[in-house]
Amino acid sequence: MNVDMPPVKPEIRFNPTVPSQFEWTNKPARCNPVLEVICTHGNEKETYGLNVAQFLSLNEQYTCTGEYPYQKRLIKSNSLSFQIPCDNRKAVVGFLAFLITVTSVVLFLIYLHKRKRICQHKNGEDEESVYVNVPIRLHKM
């Protein structure tokens, strides 16, 4: 005699490690159904698998539900809400370091350009020839 056990309401957990993943914490040992995790964030709706690396957006509010099919209906978990925080301090420090580096390089190039111009002027070259040899690329922003 085969007896079907009543379905188990799934409990899902979001593991916030990098990369992130979803886990089914109360999955019965002999359970074969595939649980899908359906998440909404902003105006988007996406489906994720279990125990698979997920790369989710930072500072977005996610609301997720796990579900699996059972006898022509869906068994759903309770809703899970979370947000992956972004440490803005590290981003600001990195950006400032980038700006300092770029500024230093630009100032050094200006110094070299002026030094070259002074040397060429002392050697009797006309000023127009100084600017012909210096390639300058302008990019629109």
Q: What is the pLDDT along the chain (141 residues), one digit of tens a residue?
A: 555 566 778 899 988 776 788 989 888 877 776 889 999 998 999 999 888 888 888 888 999 999 988 888 889 999 999 988 776 666 677 778 888 988 998 889 888 888 888 777 666 655 555 455 556 666 666
Copy the structure tokens of residue 5.
């056990």
pLDDT at 20: 81
Determine the Cα–Cα distance for residues 130 and 122; give it in Å rounded to an integer. 12
Nearest to 76 by CA among 35, 43, 45: 35
Secondary structure class of 139 (helix, strand, coil): coil
The residue assigned the tokens 């040397």 is: 119
pLDDT at 78: 94
pLDDT at 130: 47
pLDDT at 91: 64
Cis-peptide, bond into residue 85, ω within 30° of zero:
no
Burial class (CB in 10 A: 0-12, 13-18, 19+), 66: buried
